[in-house]
Amino acid sequence: MSRGFVKDGDIEEVPAVEQRAWIPDGVANLVTPEGLASLNAEREDIIARRDSASGNETDLRITRNYLNAKLQLLEERISSAVVPQIGEQPGRVGFGAYVTVRINGGKNRTFRIVGADEADAAKGLVSFFSPVAKAIAGRGAGETVTSGLPAGNREVEIVEVSYEPLPLTLAQAQARPVHIHNHHSARPVADDVSAVRETAAKVPSEETGRLESAPVKRDDPFEMLPLVNERGVTVGKATRKECHNGTKLLHPVVHLHLFNGDGALYLQKRPDWKEIQPGKWDTAVGGHIAFGEPVGDALRREVREEIGLETFEPVLLGKYIFESARDREYVYVYRAVSDVTPVPSDELEEGRFWTPEELAANFGKKVFTPNFELEYKKFFGKK
């Protein structure tokens, strides 16, 4: 992780940013001319965002340190870039080539061989050190090689090699922006968040493996979230993707346990498109706190967006750190009582009240999220 130092009183804190694309040890950082131009454009964008940043003293310091940390990694990548001569061996597979292949006699697929930072399989761009690129390097059209691909050994027939642009084969249908509310998500921050997207093709769901004929909704991976230390003090920011990809960057969330007058507890069912714990019953309300957003404001926003409740009196029960295989969350836990019937948003699968007996009968049966079970037993288990 890149370190950019932020001062909190007399204590130095370190916001972390995700590393750049991986390059094997001892391998040169090869980049196409277009790739180098893209890196330089990214550099100018970060500098512009840093220089135009605004906000109070704390937010401004955090934002600039975060961007400086990203800029440091980018500068290192630019300084190590090597732009080789493209097409030195016409008709042979090399760096920068557009290659059409047929794997195990299947359909033709066309991709371009590029550098690590440019690689994006969904766009038909593969890194020069990927298994398939290494297997066909130096070969020409009409040749067939055996490659150890992630799915196992495959026969790769080279159909065409070109150093002039060819239409690339995308790994999935093009995504298109839509306007939807994100369950369990913080509100977008201008200039740091891309549009929420849904995939409109019939493709296998990343979470369930089933074919989805309807649009598949996804949380916005580029939504900016605050990073906190173990005392809950903001020390930086990162994207949702960076927080949930195993880096264990500690980020804050709010949870509300909503009871009715009879002591039943309201739970929501997570939809199948959720990246984490799809189809499980979970806390009545749970969501990320946006960068710069007060905790109380985040709680009321999430409650309003998820279950339509405007009037309630939350009581803070406590705070704790929850760690899963993919992330770490600094959780603010609240309790409230209301006899107003919640109205779950269309982003939830469903919601209903559970009696204490129903809850007890279903614990440990994978009906609830592990986070909910842990939290319920922690705060209500002895009551």
Does a structural domain hold residue 154? yes
pLDDT band at 326 (very low <50, low <70, confident <90, very high): confident
The C-alpha atoms of residue 127 and residue 37 are separated, in whole angstroms, by 17
**253/226 same-domain check:** yes
CATH number at residue 40: 1.10.287
Of 35-39, 41-45, 56-60, 261-265, which gets the smallest average pLDDT?
Answer: 56-60
**103/204 same-domain check:** no
CATH number at residue 311: 3.90.79.10
Does a structural domain hold residue 56? yes
The C-alpha atoms of residue 141 and residue 91 are separated, in whole angstroms, by 7
Higher pLDDT, 233 or 360: 360
**334/211 same-domain check:** yes
Does a structural domain hold residue 328? yes
Of 16-30, 90-104, 313-327, 335-349, which gets the smallest average pLDDT?
Answer: 16-30
- Cα–Cα separations (whole angstroms), residue 334 to 254, 284, 286, 300: 8, 11, 10, 11
Nearest by Cα to 30 from 123, 126, 156:
126
Does a structural domain hold residue 294? yes
**359/244 same-domain check:** yes
pLDDT band at 209 (very low <50, low <70, confident <90, very high): very low
Strands 125-127 and 216-217: unpaired
**116/48 same-domain check:** no
29 and 77 Cβ atoms separated by less than 8 Å = yes
**76/103 same-domain check:** no
**120/269 same-domain check:** no
**SS3 call for 238:** strand
Task: Please tell me the total count of domains within the chain.
Answer: 3
As a whole number, the mean pLDDT across the chain is 80
**291/317 same-domain check:** yes
pLDDT band at 16 (very low <50, low <70, confident <90, very high): low
- Overall pTM > 0.85: no
For the residues 40-61, what does the mean pLDDT come to?
86
Q: Give the residues across from 81 on adjacent strands.
A: 29
- Amino acid residing at 97: A
pLDDT band at 175 (very low <50, low <70, confident <90, very high): very low
For the residues 256-272, what does the mean pLDDT come to?
92
**72/102 same-domain check:** no
Angle at CA 166, nearest 5°, toward 216 and 121? Answer: 35
Residue 158 phi, psi (nearest 5)? -85, 115
- Which of these three, 162, 178, 210, is where a domain ends? 162
287 and 254 Cβ atoms separated by less than 8 Å = yes
* pLDDT at residue 325, as a whole number: 80
Nearest by Cα to 251 from 221, 279, 287, 283:
287
- Which of these three, 41, 57, 82, is where a domain ends? 82
Does a structural domain hold residue 183? no
- Which of these three, 82, 115, 142, is where a domain ends? 82
Does a structural domain hold residue 188? no
Does a structural domain hold residue 87? no
**216/355 same-domain check:** yes
Domain that holds residue 18: 2-82
CATH number at residue 109: 3.10.50.30
**235/131 same-domain check:** no
* pLDDT at residue 75, as a whole number: 95
Does a structural domain hold residue 187? no
Of 137-151, 261-275, 314-328, 347-361, which gets the smallest average pLDDT?
Answer: 137-151
**144/204 same-domain check:** no
